[in-house]
Amino acid sequence: MKNTRLGIIISVVGVLLLIPLVAMQFTDEVNWDVFDFIIMGIMLLGTGLLLELVLRKVKTLKNRILICGAILLGFFLIWAELAVGIFGTPFAGS
């Protein structure tokens, strides 16, 4: 089961990264370079592996939900900052 979930995480990351790659073939609205794919791949894989670690180590359902929610919130905030710069940090190119 452990290796199955790791395979699923890697597969989902690959499929999610294919979405902007395919979109770039049909529209000029999506303009990612190699660096964007690398950063998003690292973020997605890191988030998936952190969630897997929580599911393996934390025993109570309440704590699992809270920790996974915090990890996902952090992921979405970093993603939004990198995408549109909602906080105005230098990471967003501001």
Total residue count of the chain as it appears in this document: 94
At residue 87, the pLDDT reads: 82
At 34-75, the pLDDT tens digits run 999 999 999 999 999 999 999 999 999 999 999 999 999 999
At residue 93, the pLDDT reads: 65
What value, to the nearest 5°, has the Cα angle with vertex 71 and ends 10 and 7? Answer: 15
At residue 49, the pLDDT reads: 96
Instruction: Give the whole-angstrom CA distance, residue 25 versus residue 12.
Output: 21
Sorted by where each begins, the domain ranges of the chain are 2-92
Q: Assign residue 57 a region: left if phi > 0, alpha if psi is -120 to 50, beta otherwise?
A: alpha
Q: If we measure between CA atoms, which residue out of 73, 13, 2, 3 comes closest to residue 38? A: 13
At residue 55, the pLDDT reads: 93
At residue 26, the pLDDT reads: 95
